[in-house]
Amino acid sequence: MSPRQLFKIILGFGSLVSLVTGEEWAFPEDFKFGVATSAYQIEGGWDADGKGVSVWDRLTHETPGIIADGSNGDIACDSYHKWERDVEMVKETGVDYYRFSLSWTRIFPQGFVNYVNPYGVAYYNNLIDKLLENGIEPVITLFHWDSPQTFSALGTLSNTAFINLFAQYARKAYELFGDRVKIWITFNEPKVVCQDFHWFLGNVTAVYPAGVIEYLCTHNLLKAHAEAYHIYNREFKATQKGKVSITLNFEWSEPASDSPEDIAAAEQRRQFEFGLYANPIINFDYPQIVKDRVAQRSALEGFPESRLPQFTLDEKLRIKGTYDYLGLNHYSTWYVRASEEEEIGRPSYAADTGTYRYQNPDWEGSGAEWNKVVPWGLRNILKWIKDTYRNVDVLITECGYPDTTGDVDDEPRVEFFRLYLNATLQAIHEDGVNVKAFMAWSLMDNFEWQQGYQIKFGIFSVDFSDEERTRTPKKSVEYIRNVVETRLIN
Ligand code: GAL
């Protein structure tokens, strides 16, 4: 037997044992753990100290019916005032990273960078300094969905003007905080912004996007991301020595059967959902299957050209390579089947995507109907990313478990982290994927967008009936702290 064969057998045995015990692999020394939040979901202080109005302020105030419990983020976890406690909590969890987002209108109330609100800057300066004092590294998201309300009149991301407005905002953020912040994320989950929630970014009274606005948004977002990347590279990287990239969400699409049709359908879905953004940034241009399908359907619908805009060669080259790592948010998994081509009628991204997806009712559930516990989905994603994008460094910027109770005895969440951290270890040790970080969503229960406060992802609970917004650690805090300390799953 060759040493290589022996090695493979040992490895194979290792995986078997690890599946049973999940214990014998350690997280590599350079692997980082973190916890994540976003501004609108936790800060509150919606009009404090000169903050301007964001689309979420306006949306929740004018159309509360759109939020499951009619609530809003006016106070949320009150992190605008309780940020010192937040830092203590991160410290208590023992992790390396705290990922949070900047509220654009807290710093630039109208969205434009001509006026900087000193209180907003002071808030983030204090937070960043306190994190660093405690040995915690800040990871900043520039755009986690709460864009300036002023831009709605322009259609926000569907307008090319957004590209420059975002680039100016990014430059100022690097100028203000980049001496201390070394990991930047331009956009959180573009697919949710453009394909799912796009109407939050335009006018509250949404117009039907007709499979057109979704792609304009995608196109402008990719260009805005690329500009923010290049600005950093050109003007800041030499002195600040940080990294810039984007965070994409990815729910795994598993073929429903071994049939070539289902295998192709699952891949088609991955390309529409993830490749749409990852391919132009890491490889080159939009994925061929996406270009072909949107062009074909657009022609049949009577459009003079594809609803998916084309990049010029210069644009393709400018977007390609604009990543120093890849940010990944992952929540759930679906089976995907080939489906009959949808009839030509109302144009839409969903019809372009084609395919049919469903979840296995036997999969372990959670507090959110769509969020099933399927750890092998994460492992498959990581492997697929490695194979499709030349083993790029991946930072898992969100992964977490929702419940509706907020119980501090959150054993199901502990089990979730045990399984998903184990899948991460398998991806690293068995599949050779370059996963470099795992950030739990979320540091604390918070405003879960359309679900309001009904769905809770926190490892700390927050008492929303108490003016103090008292935070209490759940069991999962201790679990994560232990993993971080031992670098083992137990
Ligand atoms: C993500 C989002 C987070 C959080 C999470 C849980 O899509 O980035 O803000 O809400 O989902 O649903």
Query: What pLDDT is attached to residue 427?
Result: 98
Question: Residue 48 burial by CB count (10 A; 0-12/13-18/19+): exposed, middle or buried?
Answer: middle
For residue 153, what pLDDT is reported? 87
- Interior/surface letters 364-373, b for 16+ CB within 10 angstroms, e for the rest: eebbbeebbb
Give the distance (Å) from ligand 1 centre to CA of residue 41.
9
Q: State which ligand 1 atom lies nearest to the alpha carbon of 446.
A: 10
Q: Which atom of ligand 1 is nearest to the CA of 192?
A: 7
Q: How far is the CA of 296 from the centre of ligand 1 (A)?
A: 33
Q: Which atom of ligand 1 is nearest to the CA of 457?
A: 6
SS3 assignment, position 99: strand
Q: Residue 8 has which token pair?
A: 């493979």
3-state secondary structure of 21: helix
> Measured at the alpha carbon of residue 24, what is the angle toward residues 19 and 26, in degrees to the nearest 5?
115
Atom of ligand 1 nearest to the CA of 249: 7
Give tens-digit pLDDT for 290-334: 999 999 999 999 999 999 999 999 999 999 999 999 999 999 999
Instruction: Please give the distance, rounded to the nearest whole angstrom, from the Cα atom of residue 374 to the centre of ligand 1.
Output: 17
Beta bridge partners of 394: 326, 435
| Residues contacting 86, CB < 8 A, separation 6+ | 37, 42, 77, 79, 98, 127, 443, 444
Residues of the chain above pLDDT 70, percent: 93
Residue 257 Cα, ligand 1 centroid: separation in angstroms?
30
Sign of torsion over alpha carbons 237, 243, 160, 268? positive
Note the pTM of the prediction, 2 decimals.
Answer: 0.95
CA 155 to chain centre: 22
Give the per-residue pLDDT at 84: 98
Measuring from atom 10 of ligand 1, which residue has the nearest CA? 448
Residues with CB under 6 A from ligand 1: 38, 41, 188-189, 192, 249, 329, 398, 441, 448-449, 457
- 122: number of Cβ within 10 Å: 11
Bridge pairing between strands 333-337 and 356-358: antiparallel
Of 145, 195, 329, the one to substitute when testing ligand 1's pocket (max ligand atoms within 8 A of C-beta) is 329
Question: What is the distance between the alpha carbons of residues 151 and 6, in angstroms, rounded to a whole number?
Answer: 61
**Separation of 200 CA from ligand 1 center, angstroms?**
15
Q: Please say if the pLDDT value at position 9 is more than 60.
A: no
Q: Note the pLDDT tens digit of each residue in 130-167.
A: 999 999 999 999 999 999 999 988 889 999 999 999 99
- Condensed to tens digits (0 to 9), the pLDDT of residues 456-484 reads 999 999 999 999 999 999 999 999 999 99
Radius of gyration of the chain (CA): 22
For ligand 1, atom 4, name the residue with the nearest CA.
Answer: 448
What pLDDT is attached to residue 373?
97
Which distant-in-sequence residues (6+ apart) come within 8 Å of 279 by Cβ? 271, 285, 286, 287
Whether the per-residue pLDDT at 20 is higher than 50: the answer is no
Helix (H/G/I), strand (E/B), else coil: 413: helix
Q: Which of 40, 448, 454, 456 to mutate for ligand 1's pocket (most ligand atoms within 8 Å of CB)?
A: 448
Across the chain, what does the average pLDDT equal? 93
pLDDT in tens, 33-75: 999 999 999 999 999 999 999 999 999 999 899 899 999 999 9
**Does the pLDDT at position 21 exceed 70?**
no
Length of the chain, in residues: 490
C-alpha of 191 from chain center? 10
Q: How confident is the model at residue 24 (pLDDT cuts 50, 70, 90)?
A: confident
Closest residue CA from atom 12 of ligand 1: 448
pLDDT of residue 155: 87
CA of 416 to the centre of ligand 1 (A): 16
Nearest-atom number in ligand 1 for the CA of 41 is 9
For the annotated catalytic residues, the residue numbers are 189, 398
Element (H, E) at 397: strand 394-398
State how far the alpha carbon of 257 is from the alpha carbons of 69, 336, 432, in Å: 39, 9, 26
Burial string for 392-419 (b: 16+ CB within 10 Å, else e) reads: bebbbbbbbbbbeebeeebebbbebbbb
d(CA 251, CA 157): 24
Q: Give the integer Cα–Cα distance in Å for 300 and 248.
A: 31
Can you give the pLDDT at residue 131? 99
Token pair belonging to 143: 């755009």
Provide the sign of the torsion angle of the four alpha carbons 74, 78, 80, 81, taken in this order: positive
Q: Which of 167, 170, 81 is nearest to 122 (CA)?
A: 81
Lowest mean pLDDT among 65-69, 112-116, 429-433: 65-69
